[in-house]
Chain A
Amino acid sequence: MDVSTAQLAELFVRSLGLWWVILPGMLLGTIVGILPGFSAQNTLIILLPLTLYMEIESGMAFMISLYCTTQLGGGIPAILFNMPGEGGAVATTLDGYPMTKKGQAQQALVLCFAASAFGGLVTTVATMAALPLLAQLGLYFRSVEMVVVIVFGLTLIAAIAAQDLMKGLIAGFFGLMIGTIGVDPVFGTPRATFGLLELYDGVPLIPALIGLFAISEAFVMLESETIVRNEDLSKAKNARWADTLEGLWLTGRYWWQTVWTSLIGLVIGILPGAGSTVAAFLAYHYSKLLSKTPELYGTGHPPGVIAPESANNGVTSGTLVPVFALGIPGGTTGAIMTIVLTYHGIVLGPRLFIERPEFVYSVYMQMLVCYIFMALMILPLARYMSRVVWIPTRFLVPLILSLVTIAAFSEREYVFDMGLALGFGVIGYIARKTGYEVTAILIGVLMGPLFEQYFLRALRVGQGDPSILFSSTLGNVLWAMVVLALVLPWLRSRRRQGVLAQTVRAGHE
């Protein structure tokens, strides 16, 4: 597959010329990302007649820009109100919202936008450079390896539960238990559905996310005049452009973090079924694990915002790899793009790289242009959007409660889901007030069904023999990484205690 530099330059200029579809796509993507309950997939399905009608190049540019900016948009409410707009932004709440509470909403938003844009740029370039190689990656990850990837995501429960391990684990397993509700993935028999048909597909993610995060946070929020602490409000109001630029400087300082966490996103994006939520949690987990200051995570630490945001944008480049290389979409977004591509007569699969390599690269070039446009809007967007948190909670709480209740309806269009979101809101509020981590509950709800699906599939392949889980070399390497992830924090804390004890002893002597 040969594409010269001159051809790439020409493709870049041609992609720039598609600004008239890229910019509306970005605007729509940002709005869709901000609103919980609206996903890129649903919006792309709604807009399918429009994209099918458009020329293939402009149609793809529109879909890609919408999809990429949705990931960025999801981080905005996660940072400002502790309510992620997308599953991929859940991990962003862990450090983004504490930054807002400290009066650093601007910096947090710049970190989010810059990490998204930079991470997206890095992975787009990496994908263009290694596309044929990356296309093979999906073939190595089968159900066994996917089980280990998801187990790794689940170990984040233990990391989040560092304050009170017992409560954290109870919250995580409670979430996993909620995740088992619904029909089982092998036989299709209903389990613990309380006789409700609406729960046959399992507990829907959006109402759970809205309830556990948005509604419960609104209940907590009403205790103060504004989201920002009173003592930090004047600091937030007097923030200058220099403060906005500080976020950019912080992103530059942690540039390596952005690079490697976005590559995690790229790899996860290539794997079928994993998606941005798993990628963001894994990146956050790894970032904390390898940090010299893991104790700062969860308190408003900039790398805690950078890691999930660059990872969930890294996923966007990966999503298209199996579509182009194998003609197999890894998720709903990939499936919708496959429909549009095949409608326009594009034959997907290995031959595409031989017959029309310039087309594949043109799509990634459009993605690159979208991320460049995204980088240009970082500063003004962050500066003015951060002012939303100055609004008094007597207005914000009713608006949040009512709008997110309606948003809970959007995914499946069941009124039942609105009530379910309220139920999860009450559970989330009690959990927050009694020290059970709502993030741990949500990780369980999110990853439980995924784990079960791959676990049962692996067991079927192994004809019920659980040793199948340790049968592949790649899987075993991943298992070793899981063990390392669990043991490393413990070893480091012991080492630190040892060093501290020696220092104290030395001081006494």
Chain B
Amino acid sequence: MSNPDLEEPQPRQALGADFIIPALGCGLTAYYLISTVDLVWEAKATGICIGLVLLALCVAHLVRLGLKIRSGEADWSTGALFANDAFNRQRLGLTLMVLVYVVTIYWVGATVGLFLLLIGCMRLLGVTRLRTLLGVSFVSAAFVHLSLITLLDSKLPRGVLIDLLSKASGA
């Protein structure tokens, strides 16, 4: 039989991150309730009913989490979700790159932007061979341009460079 005194204490659960989704839910509900104050009852009824149930669920869940933290089973830390490790740095980098792509798409254009985005993302994830980086990015960007912009006539922003090239070629 094992001696309970010699057993290692169980690590505490990191429950800080568990609050994020309920917090978002409560925030959205609060905004909904405030922004629909002046509307007629019928227009806001469904949202209010759903919101009140969501608030009740969140409160019950927060109480449950709070009790766990109070009893010492868990703590407020966010665990691996926001840890400063290689994967999280990669995720942050990827998110920022996609965000920059979306923000600059009108100027850079969907095709050129996609080419650069793919190079950046693959490089971040550890692809180092230049030929592979350029090849995969070029083929993917060309495929998107041909299928969506040329064939399906999508309204994806062309960007300054493609516009200049189109004008130069008289297209």
Q: Using CB atoms and an 8 Å cutoff, list the residues of chain A in contact with chain B.
A: 46, 166-167, 169-171, 173-174, 176-178, 180-181, 184, 186-187, 189, 191-192, 194, 218-219, 222-223, 393-395, 397-399, 401-403, 405-406, 409-410, 413, 415, 418-419, 422, 425-427, 429-431, 433-436, 448, 451-452, 455-456, 459
Q: List 6 A-B contacts (CB under 8 A).
A: A177-B47, A192-B32, A395-B122, A397-B94, A406-B110, A422-B98
Q: Given the complex of chains A and B, what is the CA–CA distance between A46 and B155 in angstroms?
A: 13
Given A166-B60, A184-B43, A406 and B95 contact (CB-CB distance below 8 Å): no
Given A405-B102, A413-B155, A434 and B44 contact (CB-CB distance below 8 Å): no
Q: Are A170 and B35 in contact (CB under 8 A)?
A: no
Q: Are B99 and A189 in contact (CB under 8 A)?
A: no
Q: Are B39 and A191 in contact (CB under 8 A)?
A: yes
Q: Are B21 and A170 in contact (CB under 8 A)?
A: yes
Q: Are A180 and B24 in contact (CB under 8 A)?
A: no
7 shortest A-B CB distances, which residue pairs? A398-B121, A180-B47, A173-B54, A394-B125, A184-B43, A174-B25, A192-B32
Given A184-B43, A399-B118, A455-B46, A191 and B32 contact (CB-CB distance below 8 Å): yes
Q: Given the complex of chains A and B, what is the CA–CA distance between A184 and B46 in angstroms?
A: 10
The one of B61, B114, B125 in contact with A222, judged by C-beta atoms closer than 8 angstroms, is B125
Q: Tell me which residues across on chain B come within 8 A of A405, comparing CB atoms.
A: 98, 101-102
Q: Given the complex of chains A and B, what is the CA–CA distance between A451 and B101 in angstroms?
A: 36
How many chain B residues touch the partner (CB < 8 A)?
61
Q: Tell me which residues across on chain A come within 8 A of B17, comparing CB atoms.
A: 430, 433-434
Q: Tell me which residues across on chain A come within 8 A of B54, comparing CB atoms.
A: 170, 173-174, 176-177
The interface residues of chain B, by DSSP majority, are classed as helix
The one of A186, A398, A415, A452 in contact with B125, judged by C-beta atoms closer than 8 angstroms, is A398
Given A189-B43, A401-B94, A180 and B102 contact (CB-CB distance below 8 Å): no
Closest A residue to B18 by CB, please name it. A434
**CB within 8 Å of A: which of B140-171?**
140, 144, 148, 152, 154-157
Among A171, A218, A394, A398, residue most surrounded by chain B Cβ atoms (within 10 Å): A398
Q: Tell me which residues across on chain B come within 8 A of A410, comparing CB atoms.
A: 148, 154
Given A397-B121, A402-B121, A422-B99, A189 and B94 contact (CB-CB distance below 8 Å): no
Among A46, A218, A418, residue most surrounded by chain B Cβ atoms (within 10 Å): A418
